[in-house]
Structure 1
Amino acid sequence: MSVNQNGKRLNESERCEIISKLSSNNPPSKRSVARQYGVSEGAIRKVWINRESITTRSAQFSDETKKQTYRAAAGRWSDVENKLYLWIDSMRRAKLPVPPSLAIAKAKSIASALSIPETEFKASWQWLSRFRARHGLNKMLLHGECAEVDKDDPELLASLDNLYELINKFEHENVYNMDETGLFFRLLPRYSILMPQEDIATTRGKKKSKDRISLIVCANATGTHKISCSFIGKPKEPACIKNRIWPVPYFNQAKAWMDVETCWKWFEQIFVPEVRSRTGRRVLLLMDNAPGHFEAFERNGITVAFFPPNCTSWKQPCDMGIIAALKKRYKYLYLKDVLDFYELDAESKHRKQEEGKRMRRGAAGVAYGNPAHLLDAALYVKQAWDSVSSVSIKNSFIKADIMNLTNEGQEIRDDLDQSFNNLGNMMQELQISINPSEMNDFLHIDDEDNEDFIQEIFADVEEVMESMQLANHEDEEQDTELNSEIEASVEQRTEFRGFASHYSTLLDVEDQLLCPESQAEAEESFDSLIQAFQKFKYEVQALSAKERRK
């Protein structure tokens, strides 16, 4: 908390503004910023020192919450709250509703797993209210994007009207929509198509290959500018990419999720350069309010705005067919390459497989009779995204009905259905039986409302929560060992000489701290260091005086 002599406090919104100002290419001095906000220069230094934690924390808050948040208070049951927030985050990634009663029930379950007695932790409605305030979870945030929506709700309509008013300030070709989606990039139709080295006897009942990546999809309203389709995988440097070049931008994240850090990387490294290479005009980027996105802002002619909660399923253009078209094309390309390998004669198959065995482990993909690796996925993503037409994208914006767009009589025939029919004929010739239900499952298994997809997200979350718990246990063990060592050391070496002696020593330390060399070395930490030291010194001085009076 930053306070000046007159008691002025900075709220979270002001702290974010200060960080933005100081992060600019030509930042103002901290003294001038302090005068602007009516606080001490030390308060500004403190904000700058803690900028990373402030940015991460504030990404969870709405604009209104940031204006009302003056202190970043931590709850008594931080372990419970951290795990509950992670769980709510996963539910929202799966776009499932989280009513307050369910959040309370989950909190009790987490507390029980942490061996916290019910008599100590009471997951009351009052506690839930404080938890939501601490984590920036407003009322709407506890509902999934696919929750039942009252489209006549006056509050929602007012929010949409404000968004439409903002959109109308920009040229159509300068309005972009971004969304991310999960994809099981190695999955083939269940039980029907096996890779050449797989045996039906050992594969029946085997868990489906659900290696997941996340795709970042973004295009403008006229469909004339598609931002490079980026994707997020788990490994930092996959074996398949060594000595090769990614055909699309690649980011890594432990669970292949979009998080705030990755979102910023995408914005600064991909979106801004590609947009600015095309236009210098004002640009609007529309996003949903999913976890992992940064807050709304305006910078260098680019405005970032969000759809109101619970309306992206019928107002976000990417959800109106853009993502579906991309995924369908990806799966067609993957399945076609697998079937092409099936069509090779036995000698060609054997030669390809032997070549693959001589390659670095993990480097041989579909072309060598193996499941797709990340480089295969990247190539399919690029081909699929390149083939999504501008008319299809524009029609998705028209369907979303967020701006006055007309299709001008343009229509386009999607030949993908016929292409899949051709693949079906190819499978029949190869004596691979597949029924319509299996093909439908293949096409829709990674839809965000599909139960298989949701369960995979939950499995990832459970792994994260287990790793957090394991890390906490290890930290506790290390702390116990360290404390034991410190106590033993103190007992052996320390001799109490009285608080008067301590106070005298502190005066010598103070002289050292106040010298110019010390201030120069401490730089931005100097003010906070001095404040902490002075408080400690006064406490020791009081004990010293009390000691002398005895």
Structure 2
Amino acid sequence: MDGSDKLPALVIGKAKNPHAFKHAKTLPVCYRSNKKAWMTSTLFEEWLKKLDRQMVTQKRKIAMVVDNCPAHPKVEGLKAIELIFLPPNTTSILQPCDQGIIKSFKQIYRKLMVRSYLLHVEEQIKGRRKDEVYTVNVLDALYRIMEAWSNVKQQCIANCFRHAGFVKEPEESETIESDIVPVNQEGDSLDTDNYDNLFSRLNDLIPLSATSQAYLAIDNDLAASEVLTTEDIVNSVVERDVDNEEEGEEDEEEMPPPPPTVADAREAIKTLRLFIQSQSNAEDELNQIANLQDYVEKVSVTKCRQTSITNFFKKM
């Protein structure tokens, strides 16, 4: 509730093994799949029990506030998590995520997507890129989701919990309205790097069919969780074992190219460092480059085969 501890995002897609995952041994978020890309009671229970084991290992006990969505059932046997369910029809008032956390996350995610598309179009106009269609695969989206969630500000989360009535002391709830959910929660360091401005620039280059606010709310009415009938429950039990064996739906993405070699990665880091050191106030970014270089060189050393003395002799 103070925004200091964020769990990794859980993303649910339709394809069990998207083509974009072919060479990915590590994903930026937790990814699961089913035919409708829905949160289901089965997925919720799986996720919750895994989190419970983590909390036990860390010797922590937590309370988790959950709305009464059908996909959020009571889960028995939890050792470190206490589930607290909100009363029916109170989610919009009492659920902290609905007070602005989700909106902030979506706005940052949309900004990242618009900015990427804008740069693609501008490079085409300048002749630096071939006339190709801008595409985003599942893996690209997962990285954007991770980046957007990491950029939701701690203060935004704390404000939203407080607005929903989560306070340690009664007097803490006395706050001015403007401090509850800031209008612009992106916290951009540059005035030009905000969602509305980026969308406007893109719209000037490529006339878009929607407004910036319409794009922001494009999936507000999208069904994201199950509403089970008795028949659905029976079918889910019968088909569960079958679904676990299936590969899931195939996506229409092209197969990704093979991953770059370690040598390619080392050269890329050199290029990236040259770019960053030419920018002002980029000390933190240079430190991150140093960490990346350290990681790549460790991988490089690990992949190098130890030379044996027999390698220096030729068979006669």
Shorter chain as denominator, the TM-score bin is 0.5 to 0.7
Give 3-state SS (helix, strand or coil) of 1:344's partner.
helix
Deviations 1:176-208 (A, max 9, x none): xxxxxxxxxxxxxxxxxxxxxxxxxxxxxxxxx
Question: Which residue of structure 2 aligns with residue 446 of structure 1?
Answer: 219
Find out whether 1:423 has 2:194 as its counterpart: no
Aligned residue type for 2:43: T
Aligned position for 1:272: 52
Shift of 1:275: 3.9
Higher relative contact order (CA 8 A, sep 6+): 2
Indicate the SS of the match to 1:349: coil
Aligned twin of 2:185? 414
1:373 maps to amino acid:
N
Could you list the runs of 5+ residues in structure 2 that have no partner in the other structure? 236-316
Distance 1:329 1:300, change over 3 A: same
Unaligned runs of 5+ in 1: 1-220, 354-368, 469-550
- 2:246 aligned residue: none
Q: Deviations over 1:16-65 (max 9, x none)?
A: xxxxxxxxxxxxxxxxxxxxxxxxxxxxxxxxxxxxxxxxxxxxxxxxxx
Which deviations, in whole Å up to 9, do the C-alpha atoms of 1:128-187 show, x marking residues without a partner? Answer: xxxxxxxxxxxxxxxxxxxxxxxxxxxxxxxxxxxxxxxxxxxxxxxxxxxxxxxxxxxx
1:301 corresponds to: 80
Q: 1:234 to 1:328 in 2, by over 3 A?
A: same
Structure 1 residues 414 and 407, CA gap change in structure 2 (3 angstroms):
farther
Question: Please, what is the CA RMSD of the aligned residues?
Answer: 3.4
Q: 2:14 aligns with which of 214, 221, 234?
A: 234
SS of equivalent to 1:232 = strand
- Identity across the alignment (%): 27
Q: Write the distance in 2 (CA, Å) between the matches of 1:281 and 1:291.
A: 27
Q: Distance in 2 between matches of 1:343 and 1:400?
A: 43
CA distance in 2 between counterparts of 1:407 and 1:375 reads 41
Any residues of structure 2 matched to 1:265-344 within 5 Å, and which?
265-269=46-50, 271-272=51-52, 274-276=54-56, 279-297=58-76, 299-344=78-123
Residues 222-248 of structure 1 show CA distances to partners (whole Å, capped at 9, x for unaligned) of 111000011000111000111113111
Tell me how far 1:389 sits from its aligned partner.
Answer: 1.1
**Structure-2-length-normalised TM-score:** 0.60
Following the alignment from structure 1 to structure 2, what is the Cα–Cα distance between the partners of residues 422 and 393?
Answer: 25
CA distance in 2, matches of 1:302, 1:424: 42
User: Secondary structure of 2:211's partner?
Assistant: helix
| Distance in 2 (alpha carbons) for counterparts of 1:266 and 1:322 | 21
TM-score (norm 1): 0.36
Structure having the larger proportion of residues in helix: 1
Deviations 1:464-514 (A, max 9, x none): 99xx8xxxxxxxxxxxxxxxxxxxxxxxxxxxxxxxxxxxxxxxxxxxxxx
Which residue number corresponds to residue 259 of structure 2? none
Distance 2:134 2:124 in 1: 16
Computing the radius of gyration from Cα coordinates, the structure with the larger value is: 1
Following the alignment from structure 1 to structure 2, what is the Cα–Cα distance between the partners of residues 407 and 388? 22
Q: Distance in 1 between matches of 2:151 and 2:56?
A: 23
Corresponding position: 1:433 with 2:204 = no
CA deviation map 1:296-351 (0-9, x unaligned): 54622321121111111100111111111111111111111111100114643228
Partner of 1:506: none
Q: Which residue of 2 aligns with 1:387?
A: 151
For the residues of structure 1 that align with 2:39 and 2:14, how far apart are their CA atoms? Answer: 11
Helix, strand or coil at the partner of 2:143: helix
Whether contact under 8 Å (1:395, 1:407) holds in the other structure is: no
Instruction: Say which is worse superposed, 398-407 or 331-340, in terms of deviation.
Output: 398-407
Which residue identity does 2:37 align to in structure 1? A
Q: Is the 8 A contact 2:41 2:72 kept in 1?
A: yes
Distance 1:421 1:401 in 2: 31
Deviation at 1:400, TM superposition (A): 0.6
